[in-house]
Structure 1
Amino acid sequence: MKLVTFTHAQSTRVGAVVDDTVVDSLGSSAIPPRMLDFLALGSEALAAMQALIDSGSHRIPLRDVKLEAPVPRPGKYLAISLNYADHIAETGKDRPEYPSFFTKQSTCVIGTGAAIQRPRVSDKLDYEGELAFVIGRRCRHVPVEKAREVIAGFTIANDVSVRDWQARSPTMMIGKSFDTAGPLGPWIVTADEIPDPHNLELKTRVDEELRQNANTGEMLFNCYEMVAYLSEAMTLEPGDVISTGTPAGVGVKMYPRGYLKPGQTVRIEIEGIGTLVNPVVMEP
C-alpha cells in the first residue's frame, strides 16, 4: 500500500495511491485525516484503507491532487550521519563506532514537487539522497530482531544541507533544518511491500546528471539496528521519521563543488518506492 497525504479541493487528508488515482479517505469514517492519527490506529486504519481500496470507489485522478509530505509534521525527524563507507571515505572521516544521529526540525519538511529554497545567507546548498522509514508503533527498548514490527513503512528523503551552517556546530542541526531542507515522499510504502529494505537501489540526479548510485545494503548500521539503538534512549512514536544516511556523491565533495543552484531539479529514486522530485529556487 502507498499511503499519501494529499490536498484536494482545499482539504488535506490521508489517502492511498492505486495506479494513477488516489483513494480518498473521505469515503470511510474509520480513517482519520491526519497521517499521525492514521499510523497511531495501526492495523485498524490499514484495514479500513484496504477495504476502501477494494471497493473501487472514492478515487481521484492523481494529476488532480497535490501530494504533500506523507508525514507533514513528524514528531521527531532523526537522521544518521556517516552510514555508508564510500561517503565516509569521501569525507576523510573515521568510521563511527556507534550510530551518530542529529535532528532535523520538522518545519523543514516539504513534499514532492515543492521547491527547495537556496537560502539568502548561503550558496552552499547540497543534496543527500536517502532511504527513510516511518515508525508505526509507540515503542521503547526494541530488540533488533523485533524492530521490523514497529516500522510502518518506507519513503524517500533528501537530507538537504546548508554546508557552511552545518559546519558551524558539531550537532549539525541548524545547517540541516533550514526551511524546505526536508523533502519527503512521494508516499510511504508499507513495510509488507518492502521485504528487504537493505537491498534497494538508490540514485540521485541533479537535472540529468547522476550524482549518487548505491545500494542500501551498503549501510553500516541497518534500519533495524537504528531502531534498537534509538529506542534504548527514547520512546519512538507513530509518525517519527528516521533517515538512514547518504552514500558518496554529495556536491560538497565534487571538484568543482556541485552545490545546488536555482533552476536545477533534484530527483531521488529508490527501487520499490518511487521518485522524490524537487526543483531548486532562490529563497523569496
Structure 2
Amino acid sequence: MKLATVRHGGRTTAALVVAGGYQPLPARNLSELLSLPQWKEILKDASSGHCGPDALPASAIELLNPVPNPTKVICCGLNYADHILEMGRELPEYPTLFAKFADTLTDPEAQIPADESMDLDWEAELAVVLGSTLQDATEDEAAAAIAGYTVANDISMRDWQRRTLQWFQGKSFDRTTPLGPVLVTADELDPVAGLEVICTLNGEEVQRGNTKTLVFSAARLLSYISTFTILRPGDVILTGTPGGVGMGMVPPRFLQDGDELLTEIPGIGTLKNRISLRVAATA
C-alpha cells in the first residue's frame, strides 16, 4: 500500500492512495496514524483499492511530508561502498550516525532555502519509517517493526559541516530535508533485494546507487540504534547516500540558486525540489 499526508481545503489528512485519488484515513497525518495501536487494522479496512464517497481526487490535493512529527530522525553516513570510497575512507565496522530535528524535514516539492551556505550538496537516500516501538531489538524484530519506506534527500551545508569534526550543524538546517512523496508499506518493497536510488540535477543524473550494496541494511541499522535509544512509531531513519555527491567530484560541485533537484526511488516516487540560494545575491 501507498500512504500519504495530504492537504485539501486548508486541512491535512493521512490518506491511502487508491485508484483515482486519495482515501482519507482517521488521522491528520501519518505520524498520528502510526501512533495508533490499531493502524494496521485501519489500513486493512480501507484497502479495497477503490475510491469511497469521501475520496479526494489527485488534482485537488497537495502532497506533504508524510511523517511530520517523528520523535527521532537518525541518519547513517557512509553506508554505500562506492560513497565511502569516494570520500577516501575504509568500510566501517560500525555505522556512522548523526541526528536531525523534525524541523529539518520538509515537503516533497518544497523549495529548499539556503541563506547561510555556499557549499550546498545533495544526498539521495532511502528513508525507513517505524511502525512500532523498538528497543534492544534483534534484526528480525527490527525488520518486523518497519512500517514502510519513503524517499529523502539529506541536503547538506558542506561549509558548515567542515567547521568542526561533528557533522550536526551542516546537516540540520530547518526545512532542508525533503521527504516523500508517499510511504510504501514494508510488505511491498525489499531494500535487501535492491532498490535504485537516483538523483538528477537540472536533468543530469548525478547519483545512481542500489540498496542491495548497503553496508548496513535497514534492519541492521534499526537493531543497532535500538540498543542505545528507543525508537517509536513514526520515527525516521535515513540509510545513507550512494556515490556521486558534489563534494566528491573533482573539482567539487555544489548547488546553485534556481537548480532543480529530483530524487527518485522507483516504486516509491520522486521528490522535486528547487534551490533558493538567496545568499548568492548578497555574496
Q: TM-score range with shorter-chain normalisation?
A: over 0.9
Structure 2: how far apart are the matches of 1:195 and 1:222?
11
Of residues 233, 238, 241, the one that matches 1:238 is: 233
The reply to whether residue 145 of structure 1 matches residue 140 of structure 2 is yes
Q: What's the offset of the Cα at 1:196?
A: 4.3
Report the counterpart of residue 260 of structure 1 in structure 2: 255
Q: Distance in 2 between matches of 1:197 and 1:59?
A: 34
- The equivalent residue for 1:155 is 150
CA contact (8 A) 1:8 1:66 kept: yes
The runs of 4+ residues in structure 1 deviating greater than 4 Å are none
Which ranges in structure 2 are unaligned for 5 or more consecutive residues?
none
Who is 2:3 aligned against?
3
Alpha-carbon displacement from aligned partner over 1:159-214 (angstroms, at most 9, x marks no partner):
01000111223331111011222110001101111144441111110111000111
Who is 1:281 aligned against?
276
What is the CA-CA distance between 1:63 and the residue it aligns to?
Answer: 2.3
The aligned counterpart of 1:203 is: 198
Conserved? CA contact 2:82–2:243, under 8 Å: yes
Single out whichever of 71-80 and 191-200 deviates more from structure 2. Answer: 191-200
1:222-247 CA-to-partner distances (Å, cap 9, x unmatched) read 11110110011011000110000001
**Residue 112 of structure 1: which of 102, 108, 112 is its match?**
108
Q: Aligned to 1:23, what secondary structure does the other structure show? A: strand
What RMSD, in angstroms, separates the aligned Cα atoms of the two structures?
1.6
* Partner residue in 2 for 1:91: 87
Q: Residue type matched to 1:184 in 2?
A: L
Shift of 1:53: 4.2
For 2:170, the equivalent position in structure 1 comes to 175
In the aligned structure 2, how far is the partner of 1:215 from the partner of 1:191? 17
Which residue of structure 2 lines up, in the alignment, with residue 47 of structure 1?
A: 41
8 Å CA contact retained: 1:23, 1:53: no
Paired with 1:254 and 1:20, the residues of 2 have a C-alpha distance of: 43
Q: Give the structure 2 partner of residue 28 of structure 1.
A: none
User: Kindly tell me: are residues 36 and 278 of structure 1, through their superposed partners in 2, closer, same or farther at Cα, counting changes over 3 Å?
Assistant: same
Q: Secondary structure at the match of 2:220?
A: helix
Matched, 1:135 2:130: yes
Stretch moving more, 81-90 or 59-68: 59-68
Aligned to 1:12: 12
| One-letter amino acid of the counterpart of residue 108, structure 1 | T
Identity of aligned pairs, percent? 38
1:100–1:260: structure 2 CA closer, same or farther, 3 Å change rule? same
Moved more, 182-191 or 60-69: 60-69
Decide whether the 8 Å contact of 2:257 with 2:278 is kept in 1.
Answer: no
State whether structure 2 residue 63 is matched by structure 1 residue 79. no
The answer for unaligned runs of 5 or more in structure 1 is: 26-30
TM-score, with structure 1 as normaliser = 0.92
